[in-house]
Structure 1
Amino acid sequence: MAVLAKGIDYFGAEGFPITARRVRTEPGGRPSHRNDVTEIDHYHDFSELVLILRGRGRHLLEGESFPVVAGNVFVVQGNQVHSFRDREDLVVVNVMYDPMRVLLPAGLLRRLPGYSALFLLEPTFRSAHQFSSRLQLDREDLGAAEALVERIESESKQAYPGHEAILLGLLIELMVFLSRRYGESDVRESRALLEMGKLISTLEQRFNEPWTLAEMARFARVSRTNLLRVFRQATGKSPIDYLIGLRIEAAKRLLRQSNRSMTEIGIETGFGDSNYFARQFRLVAGRTPSEFRRSGRT
């Protein structure tokens, strides 16, 4: 039976929810740190970015087994049961973070096609792709990523004043670095994920345009059926609901920061019709645009 690896054991009861743990293949299978569950089937109540620094082994994930070698980088989502086996001089570093407690600039990160592909899509389609869509770093890029991780390890351990801000900045920098590298992949399975990641990135920046499902499918180079399936698996929403959510968030900013009319805001955020804008806003936000504006100014 899989065990739950609890964030409190790695971040501490009052600790900032970003840290890193390095795991080596110790003689006799000794653990590398007090809460090392590397060879035990486990899942988390946090997310984990895994970098294979040295050696080789096998990664067991949700009942399937994949070979891992130096340079492999992948994300393990909290509810995924996994462990490592057959370790040969394997050195792994796990960057742990709680996405529910860390204020990541998700909208900005999703502007990178590689971010959506690596952090949202690849974990979902890993089994279907037989792990071929993972990120593979060359020696130079692996060294650059390891340098960032070493700083995360140091800041987390020393916990000097301001370490929280530095940890957040380092995690974002690492995510952007890895997302850029993933965006350069020429692996067929990775390119397929990047096409969907490119759509998410483009919607983030061009949400006010009159998108249709057919246009989204053409943009991502998939059928409408595949678009609906893959997009929901990646984001938890349909493409249209995701688009409406982006428009509503943009409308909220305008309602807080400007005195523009509802008609102007509806047009600028892509709704066009003020009545349609008001209906959708109430469905998503639970109140009318006028009520939202008043509540933000009292």
Structure 2
Amino acid sequence: MTELSNMDIPKEKLILAKHYPIQVLETIGVNATYQKLHWHDVLEINLIKSGTGYYIINGQTFEFQEGDILLINSNDLHCAYETKDLVMQVICFDASWLLNIVRYDSEILHPYKEMGVHFTNLLDRNEPHMNELRSLLLEIQDEHDQEQTSYGSLVYSNLIRFHACVNRYFRREGLNRGKDSIGARQLDKMRKVIYDMQKNFAYPWTLEELAGLVYLSPSRFSDIFRRTVGTPPLLYLIHIRLEHAVMLLETSDMKITEIALECGFRSLSNFNRLFKKHIGSCPKIARG
């Protein structure tokens, strides 16, 4: 059996400035990018400004609400879903930015390195220091947006203070992911399948073929995939195909029949039916 490794599956690369390797965004709702299971080469902090939803991270579901803070490691498979009126602050940064601090405080990034052992992705909302963390994240956003004198230094210092506080006040002993959690080897297998699905989305995959990619029975594979991604594998494949179809509708002059075939749908009627079911309108309307 071929060993699977994270190194075999490329991560999404976020291009950040070398002198200021951080991205600070505010998102309303959850767009297709966040709904698609992904992993990337940066560390991520989410502050839920309002509304509710849930994350699936490494096969675990974390329901979140206003005021919650989540940490996502660069190796975490994750996707987000909105349940109501979601507004979320998203901070992504290169871990190497804190390299100088690590020399003096070797534990500053332990909240990521020890995730699932001493820390959880969703920080304890009842911890008394949560308000301090929220204030630091909001100040980071204000400084980033206003770009006043020395804003980079203030963003940097608040990012350090944020992680120091998490490391001091949110560390827990005896944590484990639970008996139903998905192991690292199983997650690597799902990475392999997802990568192949996204690379060859037009191929007429069967459940048996997808399971065979990682040497699992169809039933076992379906269970692990559903727990990891939140949807069955063939439904996830449909979503990948529809995402490409929407892109082609918006950016190309291809006929709708050609787009349907290009994206792996068996017929135009099948494409129209699935497009309306999952996107909410017919392809002609989506094209505008």
> Structure 2 length as normaliser, TM-score?
0.48
> Structure 1 length as normaliser, TM-score?
0.46
